[in-house]
Structure 1
């Protein structure tokens, strides 16, 4: 049987990081955010705790990396299906819908509000900055074709983030009024209205 240290040495760095993040995700789903420990993540990933500490200083940093990885994966998996405002809004709504159904992301929102609040009210996280950059780039293209109003693309993208993030985090409380289809339709309408020239 291979020891943990031999297993760690044989793994590629990106594979090891993914394995640790996958273990963290399984811990979040099994125990909730508050009861996740680095020891259990290490056990599930088949690595030592020092291996995790070489990448992340604590559980909170590891969970932030997990959220970033999941959000970026959704963005990558849902590429734009064209140019212009309508294609961009369609992509934003699709990303929001996928994140709203991501068990790990929603577990953090619901079981660790203090962690979520850091990225809702205090500072932009890495994934939020990446989302803003991606949307701003598509907004510039849409502005050139005339389907998006004039304005600083980063400011417009930041506002799109706020609108969409609010929709994701609050969808559950308005579910009796806005089911999933209605929520997507209204988010589409809101973003198109905001961006239309």
Structure 2
């Protein structure tokens, strides 16, 4: 699991708030995260937190976005084509799966998870879609991804990957981590192949 260290701490007020929220999620669980404790851990006042976020739910949503953005940034593209594209998508999925903060929020607050994952396309999902769509377009031009609307193909890749991340724990006895990665890779390659 990814850990939070002082080395990766943000100097910005918003970053300090998100770092403190991550600490609270890990220390207390999602249900017991309070704005007062976030402010205390970030060494700022509650009104300062309220000027940036209306409540803890919005802080947790911003925290998910930041962590997912970090996961995407941690797995750079290695080239153009279906194979590098699938490797990146699977790599980002793995980074998210092993991020203890993201998984804690998703598993401990089902209402937030459902809102974040199924009711609207949020900031991080739009960012992921834009990235995958651009890589799909380049791979189509190169000939290694089938023709089709790049946004639609990217959405299906997101849905396949997102459901794999969410169900990974449930099927771990059948699909241990390495096998899950192999099967997700096969699924995405098969879906995108010309």
Which of these residues, 112, 120, 123, is aligned with residue 123 of structure 1?
120
Number of the residue aligned with 1:183 = 180
TM-score with structure 2 setting the length? 0.93
Structure 2: how far apart are the matches of 1:14 and 1:132? 29
> What SS does the aligned partner of 1:130 have?
helix
Which of these residues, 78, 85, 89, is aligned with residue 86 of structure 2?
89
1:64 pairs with 2:61: yes
Number of the residue aligned with 1:168 = 165
Number of the residue aligned with 2:7 = none
Query: For structure 1, which runs of at least 5 residues remain unmatched after alignment?
Result: 1-12
Q: Is the 8 A contact 2:97 2:103 kept in 1?
A: yes
Structure 2: how far apart are the matches of 1:120 and 1:38? 23
Query: For structure 2, which runs of at least 5 residues remain unmatched after alignment?
Result: 1-9
| Greater radius of gyration (CA) | 1
Structure 2: how far apart are the matches of 1:28 and 1:71? 16
TM-score with structure 1 setting the length? 0.92
Which of these residues, 19, 33, 36, is aligned with residue 33 of structure 2?
36
Q: Cα offset for 1:14?
A: 6.1
Q: What do you get for the CA RMSD once the two structures are aligned?
A: 1.1
Number of the residue aligned with 1:102 = 99
Number of the residue aligned with 1:6 = none
